[in-house]
């Protein structure tokens, strides 16, 4: 079993760690992050999840790149740019980058996926799909046949992508967003939660769906919509 060092100690790192451990695809041996994020005031050597936590600036001394693989477990900060930088810095140190593909995802031998990808449970990937490097795909995403997800994208849970679509490099696709078939999005597009995109869009386009309007339970608007009697009214 290959040994793995995970970059990051935040929530994304926790998700990645638990999935790697659950499925036994790699042996997680340590965590790493920038030295500035390590609490030097604690007694003893720093740890995370009971494993050594070492400064990224010197991680290759303790865990040589020819002995371990790296996984950069960061979120979509700066529209994925932070994750891109840390992947680049890890490779510059000589590390190979692992990908996690859940055995509970739905795909066949056609799967074409790059390095440092995170593909969680119940993701559906149809034939002909190509997934680039450093792509995170969360639970219950559906990627239609012959679609292309370019490098450094983030697909939040429940997103649906129609067949033969192209998602440009560094894009963020929000919760339950839907992209029609044969749509092409340029690089660094941002789709908020529950957005619907049915036309191609250029680079750095932003789509935001209007939030659901909030009413009080006893408001006249809510009572009219539900045909409920006013609270406290006699029946």
The CATH number for 70's domain is: 3.40.50.20
Q: What is the pLDDT of residue 107?
A: 97
- Looking at the fold, whether 68 and 117 belong to one and the same domain comes out as no
pLDDT digit string (tens) for 40-95? 766 778 999 999 999 999 999 999 999 999 999 999 999 999 999 999 999 999 99
According to DSSP, the β-strands at 47-48 and 51-55 are antiparallel
Q: What is the pLDDT of residue 152?
A: 98
- Residue ranges making up the domain that contains 78: 3-92
* Domain end call among 92, 119, 153: 92
DSSP-derived secondary structure for 30-55: EEEE-GGGS-TTSSSS-EETTEEEEE
Tokens describing residue 231: 């609270």
In a 13 Å sphere around the CA of 218, the CA atoms on its Cβ side amount to 4
CA distance 10 to 224: 45
Q: What distances in angstroms separate CA 179 from CA 84, 124, 164, 173, 183, one per listed residue? A: 24, 15, 11, 9, 7
pLDDT digit string (tens) for 168-194? 999 999 999 999 999 999 999 999 999
Q: Which residue has the higher pLDDT, 225 or 154?
A: 154
- Looking at the fold, whether 227 and 183 belong to one and the same domain comes out as yes
- Looking at the fold, whether 137 and 230 belong to one and the same domain comes out as yes
């Amino acid at each position: 079993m290959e040994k793995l060092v995970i970059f990051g100690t935040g929530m994304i790192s926790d998700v990645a760690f638990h999935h790697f451990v659950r499925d036994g695809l790699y042996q997680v041996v340590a965590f790493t992050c920038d030295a500035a994020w390590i609490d030097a005031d604690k007694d003893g050597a720093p740890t995370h999840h009971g494993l050594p936590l070492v400064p990224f600036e010197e991680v290759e001394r303790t865990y040589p790149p020819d002995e371990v693989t790296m996984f950069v477990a960061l979120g979509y900060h700066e529209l994925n740019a932070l994750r891109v930088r840390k992947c680049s810095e890890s490779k510059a140190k000589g590390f190979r980058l692992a990908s996690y593909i859940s055995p509970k995802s739905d795909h066949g031998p056609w799967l074409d996926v790059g390095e440092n990808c995170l593909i969680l449970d119940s993701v559906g990937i149809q034939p002909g799909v190509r997934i680039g490097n450093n792509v995170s795909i969360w639970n219950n995403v559906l990627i239609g046949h012959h679609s292309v997800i370019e490098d450094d994208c983030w697909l939040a849970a429940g997103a649906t992508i129609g067949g033969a679509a192209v998602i440009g490099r560094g894009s963020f696709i929000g919760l339950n967003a839907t992209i029609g078939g044969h749509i092409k999005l340029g690089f660094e597009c941002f789709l908020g939660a529950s957005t619907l995109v049915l036309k191609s869009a250029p680079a750095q386009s932003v789509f935001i769906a209007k939030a659901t309007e909030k009413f009080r339970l006893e408001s006249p608007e809510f009572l009219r919509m539900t045909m409920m009697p006013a609270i406290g009214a006699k029946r």
